[in-house]
Chain A
Amino acid sequence: MIYSWKKIVRHGLPLLTVCVLIEIFAGQILQDRQETLVLFPIFLISIPVINGVGGNIGSVLGARLASGLHVGYISISLKDKEMHENLLMSILLGVITYVILSVTIYYIYSTLLSYNSVPINLSLLKFVSIVLGAGVLLVCVVSIASVFTAFWSFKKGLDPDDMVAPVVTTVGDMMGIVLLFLLIGLVGI
């Protein structure tokens, strides 16, 4: 037998505990800004979208970097051209995805549903700028986290495939929420 439930629990518990501890702080930021979120539910709805897409892009980048490092066509250097191309592609993918999804959210909640979640003075342009701004900054942050985690773990002899996804999704959830409120403040609602 290869697997035993005791080993699965013993190996999973430490990393998961660190992850949920950081996620609890992300949750505390939400609690701090709960009034804004309850008043403008369209932002509450956007949070899983912003964080989910950011986490996905970061994990996919990490998986590609891991394959490149294993096979040898990516080297551990901040000047690696292949790595730069992958970074740029992640940002481009982020821009396209966030534009499509933010327009979709805005139209679902302002026209299709008579759900009182879109504030009257929040125009499509403002909403898209907030989500796109927060989203693209998030993709930059998770991509950098992804590159450093992949390089660091590969150097240490750990498998980047195991390390990148948990680190990137946790960093992404925390920063996604911080950046959303930063952009709400900058654009103004």
Chain B
Amino acid sequence: MYAKEMVKQSLPLLIFCGLGGIVAGSTLGVMTDLLESIPGLIVVIPAIIAMRGNISTAFGSRLGSAYHLGVIDADNLWNEELKQNIIGSLVLSFFISIIVGVLAYVTTVFFFKINPDPVKLIVIVLIAGIVSAVILTLMTVVIIYAVFKRGYDPDNTTGPALATFGDIVTMFCIFGSAVLVEGIL
């Protein structure tokens, strides 16, 4: 009975996350021309997705703890505690994006002896990193607000929701940013 319960509770969410993965993967699938024309672009993809996932799930879980500690709730959401959390997530995204761009450039030169355009690579990562950070931070606040209103525990709901939407939003942002930068630079 124990096993049956676990499958019943976990499977629907796992399948839902997997379907989200198919949407994210399909975005990657239509990017093949861009991946070929911008060397180093494929290198940054796992790193940006992982950065986004880590920063936004940590943000969501901090807001969950803040709720349990009683410093934020549905009627008192937009306060100084929330603002500090938002600034923290955005500043982290900014620094990590630059680190990702630089690491991708350096390792590509080292391993493949090809020379990608470092400015192009860093600008693509930075735009994708910041835009996805802003979208996901707002999304988290909206999800958290809805969860508070219903009186659910934010710890159980924000993680999987953010993981699924996060991958899709991030892939769209990388795609858009690469198209934009390839068109301008």
Contact = CB atoms under 8 A, between A and B. Distances in A.
Interface residues of B, number: 68
A26 B25 contact: no
B28 A2 contact: no
A17 B62 CA distance: 20
A4 B84 contact: yes
A5 B80 CA distance: 11
Contacts of A52: 17-18, 20-21, 24, 163-164, 167
A148 B21 CA distance: 27
A146 interface: no
Contacts of B42: 27, 30-31, 34, 37
B55 A16 contact: yes
Given A2-B71, A9-B95, A31-B108, A108 B88 contact: no
Contacts of A165: 54, 57
Interface in B53-111: 53-55, 57-58, 62, 66, 69, 71, 80-81, 84-85, 87-89, 91-92, 95-96, 99-100, 103-104, 107-108, 111
Contacts, number: 201
A5 B6 CA distance: 38
A96 B22 contact: no
Contact of B96 (A20, A25, A31, A100): A20
Contacts of B44: 24, 27
Nearest to A96: B11
B108 A45 contact: no
A97 B11 CA distance: 7
Contact of A3 (B6, B17, B51, B66): B66
A47 interface: yes
Contact of B22 (A28, A85, A101, A115): A101
Main SS at interface, chain B? helix
Given A17-B99, A24-B104, A26-B46, A97 B25 contact: no
Contact of B43 (A6, A31, A60, A105): A31
Interface of A: 1-9, 12-13, 15-17, 19-21, 23-28, 30-32, 34, 37-38, 41-42, 44-53, 55-57, 59-60, 85, 89, 92-93, 96-97, 100-101, 104-105, 108, 115, 117, 165-166, 169-170, 173, 177
Interface of B: 2-3, 6-7, 10-11, 13-15, 17-22, 24-26, 28-29, 32, 35-36, 39-40, 42-47, 49-51, 53-55, 57-58, 62, 66, 69, 71, 80-81, 84-85, 87-89, 91-92, 95-96, 99-100, 103-104, 107-108, 111-112, 159-160, 163-164, 167, 171
